[in-house]
Amino acid sequence: MSNRLFLITLTCTLFTTSSAADLDLSPHVLAGIEQAIEDSKARAVAVGLYDNGEIQVTGFGQLSRAGSAVPGSDTLFEIGSITKVFTSLLTQTQVAADRLTWDDTIGSLLPELDFTSEAVASITLRELSTHTSGLPRVPDNMDPTDPLDPYMGYDRALLLSFLVAFNPDALVKEYAYSNLGAGLLGVIAADAAESSFSEAMQREVTVPLGMNDTGFEVKRDQSDRLARGFSAGADMPNWDGFDALAGAGALLSSVDDLLLFIRQNLDPQALQESLSAIREPQAGGETAFGWHIAEPDDDGSLYWHNGGTGGYASFLAFQPATGRGVVILSSSTEYDTITQLGFAQMSGETGGSQAENLDAYPGAYKIADGFVLSVSINSGQLSAQATGQAAFPLTASGDNEFVFPAADIKIVFQLDDSGNAEKLTLYQRGQATPAPRVGDVENMSSRPVIELSAAQLKDYVGEFQLTPAVVIQVMVRDGQVFAQLTGQAAYPVFPYEPDRFFYKVVDAQLHFERAGNRVTAVVLHQGGEQRAPRIE
């Protein structure tokens, strides 16, 4: 991939829109999307299929609460971490232009910094791209001016100050997903291109590939094509405050553009060498530069990435051996479900096996203080959901064993003498975590929502100390209340009584306590009760 002195602009006339009836979707995937929309877990979903040059696109739902427009091939969505693939592709353009190498260290590329840790200074671009740098998922000096736009205000100065001060006891060079690392890679690639990250991405990547709707902001002539962010019944603001960490997840795109990107990978007309270079397996074969690789030891290796922001979930995958690919873009925070459906489409899965009787498993299981895994049955499917996170489906894999392959999760239930689960063990990334059952899961999502005035909603705004390390931040935006636990996404909560709110994304409630007219604490109800006093 070279730093081209001329731009190759490609147009594609292959894209056609099909109805759901004639789209070659797996029945399992079709049912999953329709169920998500029916359950208000997604509002807009656009799906694109690529099969050896033939393309089909369809849309489900609607772009916004007020409008009736159905999403189509040119509807814009935030694509979140799929941006990381394009960040690595931009970096490769600079490698091909002899401005960088993948084994350059950040210390050599940022010579003005006086790193506290020599190990941090020795991190390579290869390690940033493959999540093996040892850097944390996000830096600890983030303090967004708007918690609903969590990367807002995190500029280059803050990023560099974190790197200078970061001094872990040991820098563990094994796979650990890092938005910080991908953001830093984007900063370095833009420096090498001698321009801003957005300008470099446009000049070196999106324009040569003909991806004219892929960028970092919604232009005026695109505004009516933007799907409004959505989470569990509530509108969500866009994450448009990215700065230094834009390389981790700032892009917006469309099914049209991402199908064109799949086509360019399978039948390249531009940036051929660069696209091929970033698919070279790295770090044990399960990652490439920016890509994850499924079945890396098989000729049928599948390249994929997913993404999620505060109101969007996305999935992109293609398989060179079969010439097939899929794109799913959604206004939804059902990140794991969208990923699972993407894999199911690529594998031709028709629904997976399910245990005959699921009634033994539902309940709330305590993973740690303030962290509960809720297991429930939804539309005949067993699903699990951790505190403050999205639900994910579980497929039976053995006696009392269930898996969610997309996140390498296995759950094994232990039954008591009456045949009901009394605890479970969660297996993920080589760790086994036992979790006793601590209560029932109460389905509150169908409860009626009451209306509260703006003055009443203002009472709840503030921060509440759940544990020494976890704060619940409550905020109001456009008449909607959101609650955010430390290190997790913000989710909407809905009042069903004065001072009592429920989540729709998880079976949990927030009950606010008062002293006189003032809210002094909130109690989180999820598999038990935990009180969080207001932070003064």
Pick the last residue of a domain from 439, 471, 497: 439
Element holding 452 (H helix, E strand)? none
In a domain, 209, yes or no: yes
Do residue 429 and residue 310 come from a single domain?
no
- Integer Rg of the chain from CA: 23
In a domain, 444, yes or no: no
Do residue 68 and residue 110 come from a single domain?
yes
Do residue 406 and residue 276 come from a single domain?
no
Question: Looking at residue 2, what is its pLDDT?
Answer: 28
Do residue 190 and residue 288 come from a single domain?
yes
Do residue 145 and residue 269 come from a single domain?
yes
Residues in a beta bridge with 403: 395, 410
Question: Looking at residue 390, what is its pLDDT?
Answer: 66
Residues in a beta bridge with 56: 49
In a domain, 3, yes or no: no
* Total count of domains within the chain: 3
Question: Looking at residue 469, what is its pLDDT?
Answer: 87
- CATH number where 435 lies: 2.40.128.50
Question: Looking at residue 232, what is its pLDDT?
Answer: 83
Question: Looking at residue 14, what is its pLDDT?
Answer: 31
Do residue 121 and residue 201 come from a single domain?
yes
**Residue of 74, 166, 149 whose CA lies nearest to 113:** 166
In a domain, 130, yes or no: yes
**Residue of 92, 355, 373 whose CA lies nearest to 208:** 92
Pick the last residue of a domain from 322, 347, 372: 347
Please give the residue range of the domain that contains residue 37.
20-347
Question: Looking at residue 198, what is its pLDDT?
Answer: 97
Measured over the CA atoms of residue 472, residue 475, residue 479 and residue 480, the dihedral's sign is negative
Contact 44, 61 (CB under 8 A): yes
**Residue of 448, 441, 465, 477 whose CA lies nearest to 530:** 465
Do residue 302 and residue 425 come from a single domain?
no
Question: Looking at residue 351, what is its pLDDT?
Answer: 53
Do residue 337 and residue 367 come from a single domain?
no
Alpha helices in 411-503 (DSSP H): 454-458
In a domain, 12, yes or no: no
In a domain, 8, yes or no: no
| Per-residue pLDDT tens listing for the chain (536 residues) | 222 222 222 223 233 344 444 458 888 899 889 988 988 889 999 999 999 999 999 999 999 988 789 999 999 999 999 999 999 999 999 999 999 999 999 999 999 999 999 999 999 999 999 999 999 999 999 988 788 999 999 999 999 999 999 999 999 999 999 999 999 999 999 999 999 999 999 999 999 999 999 999 998 888 899 999 999 889 999 999 999 999 999 999 999 999 999 999 999 888 999 999 999 999 788 999 999 999 766 678 999 999 999 999 999 999 999 999 999 999 999 888 899 899 989 987 655 445 567 889 999 999 988 788 889 887 677 888 887 676 788 888 889 999 887 677 899 999 999 999 999 999 987 889 999 999 887 655 567 899 999 999 999 999 999 999 899 999 999 899 999 998 777 889 999 999 999 988 777 899 999 999 999 999 998 867 899 999 98
In a domain, 14, yes or no: no
The residue with tokens 């509150």 is: 444
DSSP letter string, 227-286: PPEEETTEEE-------TTGGGT--EE-HHHHHHHHHHHHS-SSSHHHHHHTTS-BGGGT
In a domain, 497, yes or no: yes
Amino acid at position 215, single letter: G
The residue with tokens 């999820």 is: 526
Question: Looking at residue 379, what is its pLDDT?
Answer: 62
Do residue 390 and residue 318 come from a single domain?
no
Do residue 290 and residue 398 come from a single domain?
no
- CATH number where 195 lies: 3.40.710.10
Tokens of 282: 């790295």
* Three-state secondary-structure class, residue 489: coil
Pick the last residue of a domain from 439, 463, 482: 439
Do residue 372 and residue 311 come from a single domain?
no
Do residue 467 and residue 517 come from a single domain?
yes
